Amino acid sequence: MKKFQSEFLTLRGRRMHVRSWQNDPALPLLVMLHGWGDMSATWQFVVNELSARWRVVAPDWRGFGLSEWNNDSYWFPDYVADLDALLNHYSPTTPVNLVAHSMGGNVASLYAGLRPSRVAGLANLEGFGLPTKLATNAPERYARRLDAASLAAASSLSSPSARPGFRTYPDLSALARRLERDNPRLSAEQALFLAAHLGVESRDVNSQPLIHLAIDPCHRWPSPLPYVLADMMAIWRQTQASVLWLRGAESAFACSLSAEPADYQARMACFRRFHEVVIPDAGHNMHHDQPQKVAQCLAAFFTNDTLLPGTPI
């Protein structure tokens, strides 16, 4: 397993944790962005399969992993601004290659459209946007958000990590078993590795050891705002970089979007230089399920830009 280094930066007044592999400034840079409920160590399995010619940098988004928590609301414009600050730190003058999963893919896609000159290439692992929400659902959305904020404010628990939001576990093995149940493709070794980085040891009110997730519970607050696909597509259309669009052949998330073929095709059509590849025997977390195949795609795309739409693996 390739060794990583940890670094803490102050970006936009916030303490951010960044993990790096092959930390040689002379090597070409890949910036890897994790998804919701995850952390930078999630890329370890893909990094293991990449050649040593790449320098890889992966942040923990705010409120995830070892980065500082908001202890309040989280908004996509802040993630985009955090990414801008991160790239200005690591590559202030040279466009960057981005690899991004799920929520990270959505952030990276927005950034590629808003700062097109800053992105050399984008590999997007199922960060294809979200299903649209009807305006008629607004009262329910706002009420649910108000309820979540009120519950957090009323909590008398002394530790923010123990606020309502995520379940806890008696030990890391229990968390690893939960990860395996959620994704049966995970090996026991993978699950234990992820649990060790996603879980944080603490104590309950009776001073008994427990494991809570390294995730701000405020991430569970439902967003009151609608997802306006037309706005996102207008930004995506400004992208100049080549885009590699990876999806898992057995991903429930990807299937939910592709169930409306016209909508799915419209999303893809926003990117002028575009390649779609389907990873077989993989779900939404294809970087866990098939890290070698994902690494092969990344190497071919960022090295030669030779992948064509529908290229088999």
Residues 6+ apart with CB under 8 A from 108: 33, 83, 98, 100, 119, 122, 124, 127
* Domain annotation covers residue 84: yes
> Regarding beta strands 14-21 and 55-59, do their DSSP bridges make them parallel or antiparallel, or are they unpaired?
antiparallel
Same domain for 100 and 15: yes
Same domain for 199 and 128: no
Same domain for 204 and 164: yes
Same domain for 139 and 128: no
* Domain annotation covers residue 232: yes
Same domain for 181 and 273: no
User: Looking at residues 132-161, what average pLDDT do you find?
Assistant: 70
* Domain annotation covers residue 184: yes
* Domain annotation covers residue 113: yes
Which among 169, 196, 220 is the end of a domain?
A: 220
Q: Compute how many other C-beta atoms are within 10 angstroms of the C-beta atom of residue 3.
A: 7
Q: Are 117 and 239 in contact (CB under 8 A)?
A: no
Closest CA to 67 of 14, 17, 31: 17
Same domain for 153 and 55: no
* Domain annotation covers residue 21: yes
* Domain annotation covers residue 311: no
Q: Are 7 and 33 in contact (CB under 8 A)?
A: no
For position 40, what pLDDT does the model report?
98
Backbone angles phi, psi at 245, to 5 degrees: -110, 100
Max Cα-Cα span within the chain? 58
Same domain for 74 and 172: no
Same domain for 188 and 79: no
Same domain for 246 and 120: yes
The string of pLDDT tens digits covering residues 208-241 is: 789 999 999 999 888 888 888 999 999 999 999 9
Which among 165, 191, 220 is the end of a domain?
A: 220
Domain tally, the chain: 2
For position 171, what pLDDT does the model report?
94
What's the pLDDT band for 254 if we cut at 50, 70, 90? confident
For position 208, what pLDDT does the model report?
77
Domain enclosing residue 101, as ranges: 5-132+227-304
Same domain for 109 and 43: yes
Same domain for 85 and 46: yes
Side-chain-facing half-sphere of 77: CA atoms under 13 Å: 2
d(CA 242, CA 277): 14
Residues in the chain: 313
User: Is residue 294's pLDDT more than 50?
Assistant: yes
Closest CA to 195 of 208, 179, 219: 179
Task: Give the CATH number, domain containing residue 289.
Answer: 3.40.50.1820
> Which residue shows structure tokens 């670094």?
7
Residue ranges with strand state E in the chain: 5-11, 14-21, 29-33, 55-59, 96-101, 119-125, 199-203, 209-213, 242-248, 274-279
Out of 139-143, 189-193, 280-284, pick the least confident: 139-143
The string of pLDDT tens digits covering residues 71-100 is: 999 999 999 999 999 999 999 999 999 999
User: Looking at residues 271-299, what average pLDDT do you find?
Assistant: 95
Which among 220, 241, 276 is the end of a domain?
A: 220
Residue type, 277: V
What's the pLDDT band for 305 if we cut at 50, 70, 90? low
Mean pLDDT of the chain: 89
Closest CA to 196 of 221, 179, 217: 179
* Domain annotation covers residue 93: yes
For position 239, what pLDDT does the model report?
97
Same domain for 141 and 23: no
> Regarding beta strands 96-101 and 29-33, do their DSSP bridges make them parallel or antiparallel, or are they unpaired?
parallel
**CA distance from start to end of the chain:** 24
What's the pLDDT band for 154 if we cut at 50, 70, 90? low
* Domain annotation covers residue 312: no
> Regarding beta strands 29-33 and 55-59, do their DSSP bridges make them parallel or antiparallel, or are they unpaired?
parallel
Out of 33-37, 120-124, 174-178, 259-263, pick the least confident: 259-263
Instruction: Please report which residue ranges of 158-200 form alpha helices under DSSP H.
Output: 172-182, 188-198
